[in-house]
């Protein structure tokens, strides 16, 4: 199975340092291929290998950084 890309809403993020903190943490995580944080729209787009990591682990990782994620409505 190929990578999955999901977009999540992020709350608690308010500056460029927050963006960098999230991108750095996700970028160092095994199974995450790409993470792009959009400060203006409070979103993060994550491409990941579902065999190595799932959305719940991504949620937990970002929560440990002090932010909340929600799946973007389809």
Give yes or no for a contact between 63 and 41, defined as CB atoms under 8 angstroms apart. Answer: no
> Strands 32-38, 68-71: parallel, antiparallel or unpaired by DSSP?
unpaired
> Each residue of 10-68: pLDDT tens digit?
999 999 999 999 999 999 999 999 999 999 999 999 999 999 999 999 999 999 999 99
Domain count along the chain: 1
| Backbone φ, ψ for residue 63 (5° rounding) | -65, -40
Range of the domain at 59: 4-71
Domain with 14 in it: what CATH number? 3.30.70.100
Residue 1 has pLDDT above 90, yes or no: no
């Amino acid at each position: 199975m190929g990578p999955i890309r999901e977009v999540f809403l992020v709350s608690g993020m308010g500056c460029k340092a927050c963006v960098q903190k999230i991108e750095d943490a996700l970028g160092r995580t095994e199974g995450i291929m790409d993470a792009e944080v959009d400060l203006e729209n409070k979103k993060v787009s994550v491409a990941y290998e579902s065999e190595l990591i799932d959305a719940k682990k991504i949620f937990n990782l970002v929560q440990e950084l002090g932010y909340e994620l929600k799946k973007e409505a389809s």
